[in-house]
Amino acid sequence: MKDHSSVAGIHSVRSALKFGSEGVGELWLERTRRDRRLGELADLAREGGVRVRLMDRDDLDKAVSGAKHQGAVAWVRVPVSLTEQDLSAHLDRIEGPPFLLLLDEVQDPHNLGACLRTAEAVGLHAVIAPKDNAVGLTPVVCKVASGAAETMPYYQVTNLARTMDALKSRGIWLTGTAGEASTDLYAADLVGPLGLVMGSEGTGMRRLTRERCDTLVRLPMHGCVESLNVSVATGVCLYEALRQRRHP
């Protein structure tokens, strides 16, 4: 479908239908597959006013380029990135301590999609990135995010350093990640109003971004590699923050 991206798999399709059915154009279900869960997806789609089409397996395979779809593919509209004005209003509505992720010039759509998926899984309030030199919500991002791009607020701001200053004025503590930091991730306090800051794939955080962090932490590395992929590192950090916030 034009201007739509495919989301595949029963769990991802269910999330898209439950939390963003207004953005789902069609639901494709495998014609010959017998699975109670596919019937539940069809019911969800009809409740949300989404058209359901029964398709041959070959059509589903082509739609997701051979990826596993479990007999279900949802076609979702690629969402529009939000702005800093939207961010301010969103922060005003948050109940309890904000839990945010800031991505400094992450450019790989697969990395952004994976970060959005993890962010949604841990209950993050928003993901923030600069408009320039950073990937937006492309069809590839939406596909990798498996439904999270439709439910996780993604804000692209004109000036990330200025936005960080605004977050700090709200009492949000900004914790950046850097390999040379002296504080271990697992020794850091990640409870309370928190903005976790991750650098780009190649060079990490820019100087102005680093200077605005209240503290820097490092991931312990005991093998031969010097760093982790940004989406993997983000997942490690977010789940450590979640662990601390659940059991402070």
Residue 189 is predicted with a pLDDT of 95
Q: Give bridge partners of residue 156 from the DSSP assignment.
A: 129
Q: If you average pLDDT over residues 161-173, what whole number do you get?
A: 97
Residue 54 CA to residue 31 CA, distance in Å, equals: 5
Residue 119 is predicted with a pLDDT of 97
* Higher local confidence (pLDDT), 195 or 228: 195
**Do residues 245 and 122 touch, judged by C-beta distance below 8 A?**
no
Q: If you average pLDDT over residues 38-59, what whole number do you get?
A: 93
Of 52, 77, 102, which closes a domain? 77
Binned at pLDDT 50, 70 and 90, residue 169 comes out as very high
Instruction: Give the count of domains, the chain.
Output: 2
Residue 68 is predicted with a pLDDT of 85
Could you tell me if 172 and 121 lie in one domain?
yes
CATH assignment of the domain containing 112 = 3.40.1280.10
Binned at pLDDT 50, 70 and 90, residue 190 comes out as very high
Residue 202 is predicted with a pLDDT of 79
* Higher local confidence (pLDDT), 14 or 171: 171
Could you tell me if 125 and 239 lie in one domain?
yes
High-pLDDT (> 70) share of the chain, %: 96
Q: If you average pLDDT over residues 107-128, what whole number do you get?
A: 95
Of 57, 77, 97, which closes a domain? 77
Could you tell me if 49 and 91 lie in one domain?
no
Contacts of residue 164, defined as CB under 8 A and 6 or more positions apart, other chains included, come to 102, 174, 195, 197, 209, 212, 213
On the question of pLDDT at 211 being above 70, the answer is yes
Residue 20 is predicted with a pLDDT of 67
Could you tell me if 92 and 60 lie in one domain?
no
Ligand-binding site membership of 228 (annotated): yes
Residue 2 is predicted with a pLDDT of 54
Residue 60 is predicted with a pLDDT of 92
Of 77, 101, 128, which closes a domain? 77
Tell me the residue range of the domain where 41 lies: 4-77
* Higher local confidence (pLDDT), 203 or 248: 203
Could you tell me if 134 and 97 lie in one domain?
yes
On the question of pLDDT at 27 being above 90, the answer is yes
Contacts of residue 92, defined as CB under 8 A and 6 or more positions apart, other chains included, come to none
